[in-house]
Amino acid sequence: MDSLKGVLGRRAKVMETSTAGSTSNRVSPSAPGSNSEKAGNEQDQMDMQRLGKIPTLRRHFRGIHLVAFALILGNTSAWAYMSMTFSLRNGGTAGTIWMFVVAEIFMFFVVMSMSEMAGIAPTAGGQYHWVSEFAPPRYQKFMSYMTGWYALLGWQSSLVGTALAAAQLFQAVIVLYNPWFASKGWIGTLITIGLTCLATFINVFLYKKFPVLEGLALMLLFAVFIAMLVVLWLMGDRGGAAVFTTFSRNGWPSDWRACMVNILGPVITIIGADAQVHMAEDTRGAARVVPRAMIASAVVNYSFALASIVTAMYMLGPDIDAITNTPTGVPIAELLLRTTGSVRATAGLTCLLGLLFVCCLTNNVTTASRQLWSFARDKGIPFHAYFAQVSPTKNTPVRSTVFTLSFTCLMSLFNIGSAVALATLTSLSLTGLISSYQIAIVSRLSARIRNAKLPPSRFDLGPIFGFFCNAIAFIFLCVVLVMMFFPTTPNPRPADMNWSVVMYGFVTVVMLVFYFRRAKYIFDGPVTTVSSQWDTATVNDRTVSAPAWVAVLKAKFPKLAKTL
């Protein structure tokens, strides 16, 4: 313990004498072994000291809570049912199933890559912090800034899509009982605003009860998942093995091109690999817990998504157009109605799916507000001092949470005027997150190539597998980003064109202008507060310093050093 205190004392002196970064971001030395809810355990204290951050959030999440959080936020089973509309138009049933398999395999490389980085730097900043540490020094500041903004826009924009999905499900229930009901854009907007207000209320006033609420929501998730499978498999008309071989081109010159455009559906369903990362400062033992929770939740989420989409494809029947062009506006509601023949049963299951999206929205608000708060803490946005505040009574970034609510409400207003405009805006969710993943992973890949000196990860992929894992993940994300800008049909009319590339370019230009006009003078990047000194054994073991005999053996036997 004396040696551990010596290491901590040296780290504290390094941070006190460092001239980079603001004083507000620095960590005052805390006694090892503190049981403070904010400080966490010894491992958390060491990580926060190395990162140069003051613990300000209550660490009340454990491993099981974090897995539950990600499963609910992912909500992949419900998203698979909702996104099959995009997939069926291009690729048919076979294209939908196989592209889900392909997307899940390659996205898992993304999850592993990000899990390793989370094991090195478990911070709510996530991608932009990793870029600031791993990118080449001359590019760290600029790349970190761009990554932070892409992640910020990605998470903030994602709330509208989640809330609208819930609104569509609840409106489908109204149509089931009142076929004359014609949904209007303003109705969906009002429901979206109401649900987001509810999610914000839970985040602000019930956040201390989150672990309990996550447990209840997780039970609901499993119950609905099982109920949907049982109802569809026992009561539905199975389509047979042809669903694995029946493709639909939708005007594209080949099956593979149609399937590539089809990838939008799977990506919408399973994206969000960084969800738990932004909860790292709410988690006890984050460096160890977060990476493992990311892997565990990805396995469960991907399994749920694949099981749900295969089930839906099996039960569609020959008349796919009738399912996709349903009066309810929600294909899964039409499929349930045809399967059960009961309006009540269909309405009940549809409401449960909508309730899952409300739970998903609640966790979405949490993640988005944490990412905004962290970026504000590092002076990455305008009015950063205001949004970097944490409520002393609620122990949560209330101001960032309220901004998230306001942003979602404003974006939902586009649904009144133009659904195309709203779809273009919400596309920032996918393109923004994918871009942030790309930059973070290529920065880690660059650090491997440069053999940069970094602390070991609590989830180490190893030099060889880690390199190929990062490379595969980066290439896949590049392909996906390009496909995100493709129209859903060849030779589209202006109304059917995918304008997301225009919005993506516009936002990028705005970020660049703000950076060169102001941000470059106030945003230094998280790396300026990161300590460059650490003890390898302390980081790995977190309990003792490296014994002297280890250094002696490494000096006398260099080949043995690798095993030590």
The pLDDT > 70 percentage for the chain reads 87
Q: Which residue has the higher pLDDT, 478 or 503?
A: 478
Rounded to a whole number of angstroms, the CA Rg of the chain reads 24
Task: Tell me which residue of 307, 304, 313, 321 sits closest to 244, measured CA to CA.
Answer: 313
- How far, rounded to the nearest angstrom, does the alpha carbon of residue 94 sit from its chain's CA centroid? 27
User: Residue 138: what residue type?
Assistant: R
pLDDT score, position 355: 97
CA distance 94 to 467: 32
pLDDT above 60 for 295:
yes
Both structure tokens of 184: 């209007």
DSSP secondary structure code for residue 40 in this structure:
-
CA separation for the pair 319, 551 (Å, rounded): 71
pLDDT of 87: 80
Q: Which fold has domain 58-522?
A: Amino acid/polyamine transporter I (1.20.1740)
The predicted pLDDT at position 316 comes to: 87
Cβ-contact 528, 20 below 8 angstroms: yes
> How is residue 541 written in tokens?
């073991």
pLDDT of residue 555: 62
pLDDT at 264 over 70: yes
* Span 386-396, average pLDDT: 89
Q: How confident is the model at residue 4 (pLDDT cuts 50, 70, 90)?
A: very low
Q: What is the pLDDT of residue 450?
A: 87
pLDDT of residue 177: 94
| SS3 labels along 155-166 | HHHHHHHHHHHH
C-alpha–C-alpha distance, residues 197 and 293, integer Å:
28
Q: Collapse the DSSP code of 283 into the 3-class scheme (helix H, G, I; strand E, B; otherwise coil) and give the result.
A: strand
pLDDT one-digit tens code per residue, 517-536: 988 899 988 888 787 655 44
Helix (H) or strand (E) holding 384: helix 384-387
The two three-digit tokens of residue 213, written as one number:
């609420």
Give the separation between CA 332 and CA 466, rounded to whole angstroms: 40
The pLDDT, as a whole number, for residue 558 is 60
Q: How many Cα atoms sit within 13 Å of 537 on the Cβ side?
A: 13
| CA pair distance 119, 111, nearest whole angstrom | 12
The reported pLDDT for the residue numbered 405 is 96
- Read off the pLDDT of each residue in 148-176 and give the average, rounded to a whole number: 94
Helices (H), 90-126: 92-120
Which range, 9-23, 352-366, 388-402, is most confident? 352-366
What's the pLDDT score for residue 37? Answer: 67
Give the domain ranges of the chain.
58-522
Out of 44-48, 170-174, 186-190, 309-313, which region has the weakest mean confidence (pLDDT)?
Answer: 44-48
Q: 430-441: per-residue pLDDT in tens?
A: 999 999 999 999
202-235, pLDDT tens digit by residue? 999 998 888 889 999 999 999 999 999 999 999 9
pLDDT score for 532: 62
Q: In the chain, what percentage of residues exceed pLDDT 90?
A: 55
pLDDT digits (tens, 9 = 90+) for 73-104: 999 999 999 988 888 888 889 999 999 999 99
